[in-house]
C-alpha cells in the first residue's frame, strides 16, 4: 500500500549508512579526471548525512555522461530519456511523496533538450533536489557546445566557435522563482557535500548547479584543480542567502566569477506541490468501485 505520509523533509536519521553504502560495485565509465567522480562522492556523503536508506531513494536521470550516476548507486535508479528526468521524477514524487527523490543530469540534458521542463518544475515546487552537472559541453556525443557554453567555444565540427550566448543556470533558476539555488564544485568535495545535503533537506524544489568539468572536451580554466583556485565561497564573501536580489546580482557574474555555496534560500519556504496535493486528497479514500456508483 502506498503511504502518503512523510515528506522529503528529513529530520531524524532513519538509517546509519555511510557514504559507501550508496555506491555499488560497478566501475563508472567516465574518463579519468572527470568531475563527475567527485560529484558522485559528494552526493553519497550528503546522503549518508541525511540518513535515508538507499531503497527509500528514487534517483532519476536523463541521458548524457553525468546521467549515468544512478547506474552506480544502490538507490532505486531511473536512467530515463534525454531531457525528461524532471517530469519522470515529478511523477514518482507525486505517486510516492514519502520517497526522497533526486534528479541528476547534464547541462545539455537540462537546458537544451529538457529546457522546457525546468521552469515548470521550479514553479510547481515539488520536494525534489535537482543536481545539474554543468560542463559546458555535450560530452557523450563528442564535445559539441552546450547551451551553457560561452560564445566562441568550439565543438568538434566547429570552425568559428559558438555564435550563441550562454544560458546562465543560476540566474535562470532564480528568475523562475526557485526557492533554493546553490552552486558547488567537485574540487571542494566537502563543501559540495554540505551544499547537496542542505538542498536535500530543503522542503521544496532545490536547484544545485555543479561545475563538473569535462576533462576531455572542457576548457582548461574549468578543470578540477584550476576551479579550486578560482572558487569564491559565498559565505566568506559575506553573502546573505535570504537576499534574493543580491543573489541575482551575484549570479550575473556567471562565466566570470566562480561562486560556490548557497545563492538563495527562501527563509519562509511556501508549501511544496506534494503538500498542496495531499490537502486535496480525501481521506479515507473512496473505494475504486464507488467510481461507477
Partner 1 sequence: MKGAVIGIVGSASDGILEAGETLINAFAQEGYFATLCTHKGTQIRGGEVSCRIRVATTPVLNSGGALDLAVVLNWEDYSRLSGELIIGAETVVVYDKKTGLTAATLPLGGVKPAAAVAIPITEMAIHAGAPSQSKDCVVLGLLAAWLGLPQKKILESITARTRGKADPSPKVDQKAFASGIEFATRHPLGRDMALDRATATGGRRRVADGNEMCARAALFAGCKFFAGYPITPATEIMHYLQREIGKYGGSFLQAEDEIAAAAAAVGASYAGAKAMTATSGPGFSLQTEVLGLASAVELPLVCVNVQRGGPATGMPSTQEQADLFAATFSSPGDTVRPVLAPTSVADTFDVTVEAFNIAEHYQTPVIVLTDRDLAQCKAVLEPIEPSQFRIIDRMEPTKAELKKYARFQITEAGISPISHPGMRGGSYLAAGLEHDERGVPTSSGEVHAQMTRKRLSKLNPLKQRRDLFLFEGDPDAHIGLVSWGNVSGITREAVRIARASGIKVKLLVPRLLYPVAEAVYEDFFASLRRCVVVEQSHQGQLHRILKMWTNTPHEFMSVSKSGANRISPHEIVKLIQAMEQPATDRFRTHYCDLLNVI
Footprint of partner 1 on this chain (CB under 8 A)?
Answer: 2-4, 26, 53-58, 60, 63, 70-71, 74-81, 84, 86-96, 98-99, 116-117, 120, 277, 280-283, 285-286, 288-292
CB of 19 to partner 1, least distance (A): 17
For residue 230, the minimal CB distance to partner 1 (Å) is: 35
How far apart, in whole angstroms, are the C-alpha atoms of residue 56 and residue 63?
Answer: 23
Nearer to partner 1, 99 or 250 (CB): 99
DSSP 98-109: TSEEEEEEEHHI
What is the residue whose three cell numbers read 536535500?
Answer: 200
Cell numbers linked to 269: 519556504
Q: Give min distance, CB of 199 to partner 1, in A.
A: 20
Residue 119 or 155: the one with the smaller Cβ distance to partner 1 is 119
Judged by beta carbon, residue 64 or residue 187, the one nearer partner 1 is 64
- DSSP category for residue 89: H
Pick between residue 21 and residue 219 the one whose CB is nearest to partner 1.
21
**For 51-81, b where at least 16 C-beta lie within 10 A, e where not — what string?**
ebbbebbbbbbbbbbbbbbbebbbbbbbbbb
Residues 6+ apart with CB under 8 A from 256: none
- Euclidean distance between CA atoms 291 and 172, whole angstroms: 43
| Shortest distance (Å) from residue 243 CB to partner 1 | 30
Contacts with 7 (C-beta within 8 Å, 6 or more apart), sequence order: 97, 98, 127, 203, 272, 274, 275
> With respect to partner 1, which residue has the nearer C-beta, 63 or 262?
63
268 secondary structure, DSSP code: S
Q: How far is the CB of 68 from partner 1 (least distance, A)?
A: 8
268 or 289: CB nearest partner 1: 289
Min separation Cβ 167 and partner 1, Å:
18
Of 6 and 216, CB closest to partner 1:
6
Tell me how far apart the alpha carbons of residues 266 and 180 are, in angstroms, rounded to a whole number. 6
As a 3-state breakdown, the chain gives helix, strand, coil percent values, each rounded to 5, of 35, 15, 45
The minimum distance between CB 275 and partner 1, in angstroms, equals 12
Amino acid at each position: 500500500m502506498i503511504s502518503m505520509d512523510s515528506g522529503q523533509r528529513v529530520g531524524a536519521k532513519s538509517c546509519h549508512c555511510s557514504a559507501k553504502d550508496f555506491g555499488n560495485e560497478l566501475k563508472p565509465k567516465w574518463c579519468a579526471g572527470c568531475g563527475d567522480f567527485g560529484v558522485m562522492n559528494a552526493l553519497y556523503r550528503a546522503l549518508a548525512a541525511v540518513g535515508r536508506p538507499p531503497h527509500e531513494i528514487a534517483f532519476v536521470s536523463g541521458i548524457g555522461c553525468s546521467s549515468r550516476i544512478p547506474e552506480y548507486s544502490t538507490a532505486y535508479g531511473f536512467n530515463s530519456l534525454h531531457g525528461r528526468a524532471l517530469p519522470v521524477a515529478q511523477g514518482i514524487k507525486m505517486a510516492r511523496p514519502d520517497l526522497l527523490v533526486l534528479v541528476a543530469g547534464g547541462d545539455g540534458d537540462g537546458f537544451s533538450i529538457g529546457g522546457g521542463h525546468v521552469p515548470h518544475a521550479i514553479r510547481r515546487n515539488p520536494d525534489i533536489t535537482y543536481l545539474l552537472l554543468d560542463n559546458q559541453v555535450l560530452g557523450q556525443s563528442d564535445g559539441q557546445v552546450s547551451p551553457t557554453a560561452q560564445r566562441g567555444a568550439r565543438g568538434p565540427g566547429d570552425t568559428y566557435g559558438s555564435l550563441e550566448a550562454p544560458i546562465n543556470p543560476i540566474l535562470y533558476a532564480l528568475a523562475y522563482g526557485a526557492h533554493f539555488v546553490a552552486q558547488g564544485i567537485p574540487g571542494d568535495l566537502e563543501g559540495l557535500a554540505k551544499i547537496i545535503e542542505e538542498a536535500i533537506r530543503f522542503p521544496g524544489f532545490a536547484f544545485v548547479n555543479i561545475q563538473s568539468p569535462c576533462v576531455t572536451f572542457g576548457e582548461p580554466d574549468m578543470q578540477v584543480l584550476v576551479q579550486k583556485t578560482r572558487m569564491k565561497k559565498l559565505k566568506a564573501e559575506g553573502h546573505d542567502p535570504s537576499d534574493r536580489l543580491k543573489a541575482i546580482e551575484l549570479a550575473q557574474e556567471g562565466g566570470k566569477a566562480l561562486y560556490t555555496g548557497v545563492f538563495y534560500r527562501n527563509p519562509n519556504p511556501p508549501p511544496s506541490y506534494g503538500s498542496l496535493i495531499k490537502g486535496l486528497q480525501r481521506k479515507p479514500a473512496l473505494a475504486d468501485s464507488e467510481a461507477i456508483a
